[in-house]
Structure 1
Amino acid sequence: MSAQLAAGTYRCRDVSQSVAAAVDAGVTWIDTAPNYAFGTAETSLRPVLDTCPHVRVSTKVGFVPDSDWRAARAAGVLPYDHERDHCLTRPYIAWQLARLGRIPDLVFVHNPEHGRTDRTDLSRTLTEAFEELEGTADAGEIGGYGVATWAGLSSGMFTIPKLTELAESVGGLHHHFRAVQFPVSLVHLAVVADALDGRGALAEAREAGLDVFASAPLGGGGLLGAMTEELVCVIDSAASPAQAALLVALSAPGVSHVLLSASTPAHWADARGAAACEPLSPDRLRKVVDVLGT
């Protein structure tokens, strides 16, 4: 099955406007987090979610927005000695999940590697987070959970098999660990090259039956300026620069959703053009890898 576009809200200047444009373009999945848009993303999404019950939504837990410090301290959900901008204790996770206004289809543990270099400490942190999320899923308060990471997989801090093993140890064979989210793009081609050889995070996720949400498919917008005519032609000569970049993520083996933060109907129309294209063949993807390297 071809990957689908989903609306990301990380870089949105106006979350409501961007997501409304995405939904109008036919997007049926929105991804957000409590710390996006200076801590206002989830609140800004409520009107859209209220009027669009068919749209699915994922959020995250972990980061502590500046706007939440006082309320979280007052609620007693942050450790008294906690001075970091990231917390994955069970009380804080439960507190973060209380304000989306909708039962999330997925909750991602957000960059669990953040500020950690000790794998044993990270394993304890993930175990506590998974325990809380398994209990919340059993209670019907979330649909499932996953891990969203920027560098945890690429740095070797954890692997897909280790995450799956942890979920089974916490929740048994019928655990609720459903998805992973990590960068897949022309900037992060190594994960695509590995997948073409049947190894790496994308291949492991597919083997484990996990959905993969590809983040930063346009490199935070920086890729658009690097899309030369020659590079576009290597990918798809009929595509626009944005479409060509998106096609790589949309065609990567194992990717189920590609997260895009686009603000206008025109941007979403361009993106939908990429999603409507035939996925790039493995040979074409290999050629892109050969041209750009990893």
Structure 2
Amino acid sequence: MTTAALGLGTYRTRPSALNDIVTRTAADPTTAWIDTAPNYLEGQAQSLLAPALATHPIPLSTKVGFLTDQAAKDAVSAGVLTAGEARRGHCLSTSYVRWQCARNRTELGRDRLDLVFAHNPEHTAGDPHQALLNAFTALEGEVAAGTLAAYGVASWDGFETGRLNIPALHRLAGEAAGTEQHHLRAIQLPVSLVTATALAQALGGMGPIAQAAGLGWQVFASAPLFGGELPQLATRELTTLLNPNLTVPQACLLAAASCPGVTRILLSASTPAHWAEAEAALQRLAVPVATLRKVLDVLAAA
């Protein structure tokens, strides 16, 4: 059993360290991946990444959905959004998704995007399924135009609350594409020893991770260290159960990377040293399912 690959998340990465970490990420071209969004790092993440990406053409995922203040103003000026829509701060309309994809390409310096996630559709003002149908229609159009390879859905709690589910996403993508041969190929959701619902379900072959994996989709695990808080919450005893030769952060990261069905762990490393520590952790053998179940039982009893 192998662990998930490591990908660079840019939600919390320090701008001053970004170039060095991208260089480190690019060292292994077989696994290199960057995940970003137009609203990360106060709206500067994509522009800050562009110079490093020009040197290191790493595959990446970005997002559509949340509006920065500047994007909202520009979208209204372009006639893509009304002032009322812009004030909501989140939109997945067909016209906006097309506009934001073009803006993402410009900011990242890419003619073609590898993967675009519809970002937190549970935040939409109306029915998230209708919003996703609109977004998927736009994204299928981007694929047809040759400016996008594939798309996905990134959610914080949509799968856990039941507002989103894999069969419905599969159906909506087929409706948008007009065929079951659609280009919805990934989901992103939090997976950690704290946000453990999806992890626990996956250990039993159930839930969104197992269902997505069954369709051959990629599964991106976000917040594996729960925003950096998990190492302070975990005990040395827990770490020993997972792997006694690892530090607490490494053991917690390995646990998430060992979840069956997860294909990539996204880590917002603050320094190249933190990235190297994470790489070392994921080179270990995956934690057995029985051990992961025991760890979750210990946490549930705490």
Letter paired with 2:132 = L
Alignment partner, residue 233 of structure 2: 226
Alignment partner, residue 238 of structure 1: 245
Out of 254, 279, 290, the position equivalent to 2:261 is 254
Alignment partner, residue 7 of structure 1: 8
Q: Does 1:181 align with 2:188?
A: yes
Alignment partner, residue 97 of structure 1: 101
| d(CA) in 2 for partners of 1:23, 1:230 | 35
Out of 5, 16, 19, the position equivalent to 1:16 is 19
| d(CA) in 1 for partners of 2:28, 2:44 | 23
Q: Does 1:141 align with 2:144?
A: no
Out of 54, 70, 90, the position equivalent to 1:86 is 90
Query: Deviations along 1:10-50, whole A, 9 cap, x unmatched?
Result: 11221434433433476610000000011111111111211
Out of 59, 64, 68, the position equivalent to 2:62 is 59
Query: Deviations along 1:272-293, whole A, 9 cap, x unmatched?
Result: 1111000011111111111112
| d(CA) in 2 for partners of 1:35, 1:20 | 23
Letter paired with 1:60 = K
> Does structure 2 retain, via aligned residues, the 8 Å contact 1:30–1:57?
yes
Query: Deviations along 1:164-190, whole A, 9 cap, x unmatched?
Result: 111112211211000000000011112
Alignment partner, residue 215 of structure 1: 222
> Does structure 2 retain, via aligned residues, the 8 Å contact 1:5–1:275?
yes
Q: Does 1:71 align with 2:74?
A: yes
Of 180-189 and 91-100, deviating more is 91-100
> Does structure 2 retain, via aligned residues, the 8 Å contact 1:25–1:269?
no
| d(CA) in 2 for partners of 1:208, 1:137 | 19
| d(CA) in 2 for partners of 1:270, 1:282 | 23
Letter paired with 1:101 = G
Identity of aligned residues (%): 47
> Does structure 1 retain, via aligned residues, the 8 Å contact 2:3–2:254?
no
| d(CA) in 1 for partners of 2:263, 2:38 | 23
* Corresponding residue pairs, total: 290
> Does structure 2 retain, via aligned residues, the 8 Å contact 1:58–1:107?
yes
Task: Map residues 91-170 of structure 1 onto 2, 5 A cutoff.
Answer: 91-98=95-102, 99=106, 100-102=108-110, 103-116=112-125, 121-170=127-176
| d(CA) in 2 for partners of 1:273, 1:17 | 18
Of 93-102 and 60-69, deviating more is 93-102
> Does structure 1 retain, via aligned residues, the 8 Å contact 2:160–2:197?
no
Cα RMSD between the aligned structures? 1.6
Query: Deviations along 1:106-163, whole A, 9 cap, x unmatched?
Result: 00000011154x5xx2221111000000010111101100000001110000101110
| d(CA) in 1 for partners of 2:279, 2:230 | 18
| Bigger helix share | 2
Of 107-116 and 9-18, deviating more is 9-18
Task: Map residues 23-62 of structure 1 onto 2, 5 A cutoff.
Answer: 23-24=26-27, 28-53=32-57, 55-62=58-65
Unaligned segments of structure 2, at least 5 residues:
none
> Partner of 2:8: helix, strand, or coil?
strand
Structure 1 residue ranges, 4+ long, deviating more than 2 angstroms after superposition? 15-27
Query: TM-score, normalising length from structure 2?
Result: 0.92
> Does structure 2 retain, via aligned residues, the 8 Å contact 1:6–1:257?
yes
| d(CA) in 2 for partners of 1:271, 1:227 | 17
